[in-house]
Amino acid sequence: MNRIFRVFMFALCLTLPLLAMAGNDIAGSKDHPLLTRYPGSYIGEYSKAYNATEFKVGAGNSATTQTVEGDTTSLRYFHGSPETQPSALQVIRNYQNAIRQIGGEVLYERLPSDGDGGETTLKVHTGGKDVWVKVVPDIYGAPTQDYLLVITEVAAMAQAVTANQLRDELDKNGFITLHVNFDTGKSVLKPDDLATMQQIALMLKATPALKLSVEGHTDNVGDAASNKTLSEARAKSVMAAIVQAGVAAGRLSATGFGQERPVADNRSEEGRAKNRRVELVKAP
């Protein structure tokens, strides 16, 4: 095993200097228009496709992983010269500063240490999109090192629901079903859902006498008590967004029913998805 490893490392050391000397981007690759490369580096790996990518968020031991779907560009940059290559920390700090300069934020960082080049997650809203960025320096290259840059663009969903459509559905059925895109176990509304909240507010403003009960529902995954608490938190989150859009809080109430009132079979993912919902019900 050790002999195989030594042979592999010897071959790698022979190959990487050639790459460093070449310093040419691979065919068909290019920098992402939002973030350029570290000076003196070149693209050794490149892909672009719609993908689901995991990004780390949070701090220290409490950090979690969030999966983000969108148009994803993945680039691995190799530094061209061992004499001028930056440290892993320099790479991380440069991209963090670049994102902050355009109004973005750092969602996660793990600083380089022995045997670890570190990692950072960045996020910025620009051009009507949420853009997630992952930077992962690699410290094992010889004689030059490299770093991975992953950029995922999440386009805002086109507004498909209008205030008039919502009012028609409410008049017809007495309630409106919203399948809000909450993260698992979370109650924070995403930017894509805020446009719908604006349309609900417009409907309420156009009908001053109308009052609504905001009712949260979950599937049966997890325990009943936690699901009830989560459904109430989600209902309150929707209510707060409608109030924020200019509707008097007295015209709304929020209740959570958890898994008590399914509308579909919880034995299938399709059924569970239908049960994870918020309903707006006409109130007396």
pTM beyond 0.75: no
Query: Residue 160: pLDDT above 90?
Result: no
Could you tell me if residue 169 is left (phi over 0), alpha (psi between -120 and 50 degrees) or otherwise beta? alpha
Query: Residue 20: pLDDT above 60?
Result: no
Distance in Å from the first CA to the final CA of the chain: 76
| pLDDT value for 158 | 52
Query: Residue 191: pLDDT above 90?
Result: no
| pLDDT value for 18 | 41
Which CATH class for the 163-282 domain? alpha beta
Residue 119 corresponds to which tokens in the numbers above? 């990692």
13: number of Cβ within 10 Å: 12
Residue 270: HSE in the Cβ half-sphere, 13 Å Cα cutoff: 0
d(CA 93, CA 120): 9
DSSP 21-83: HH--PPTT----SSS-PPTTEEEEEEEEEEEEEEEEESSGGG-EEEEEEEEEEEEEEEES-TT
Query: Residue 17: pLDDT above 60?
Result: no
d(CA 214, CA 177): 10
Query: Residue 3: pLDDT above 70?
Result: no
- Band (pLDDT 50/70/90 cuts) for residue 157 is low
Residue 33 corresponds to which tokens in the numbers above? 């228009």
From the list 271, 168, 276, 147, the residue with the least C-alpha distance to 218 is 276
Residue 180 DSSP symbol: -
| pLDDT value for 21 | 42
* Stretch among 151-165, 175-189, 209-223, 246-260 having the lowest mean pLDDT: 151-165
The residue to which tokens 């050639």 are assigned = 18
105-114: burial string, b at 16+ Cβ within 10 Å, e else:
ebbbbbebee
Q: Which residues contact 134 (CB under 8 A, 6 or more apart)?
A: 53, 55, 56, 119, 120, 121, 122, 148, 149, 150, 151
Query: Residue 25: pLDDT above 80?
Result: yes
- Band (pLDDT 50/70/90 cuts) for residue 195 is confident
Where do the structural domains in the chain lie, given as residue ranges? 2-152, 163-282
Determine the average pLDDT of the residues in 240-267: 95
Q: What is the pLDDT of residues 80-95, one digit of tens each?
A: 998 999 999 999 999 9
**128 or 123: whose pLDDT is higher?**
123
**100 or 180: whose pLDDT is higher?**
100
From the list 45, 42, 47, the residue with the least C-alpha distance to 24 is 42
- Band (pLDDT 50/70/90 cuts) for residue 140 is confident
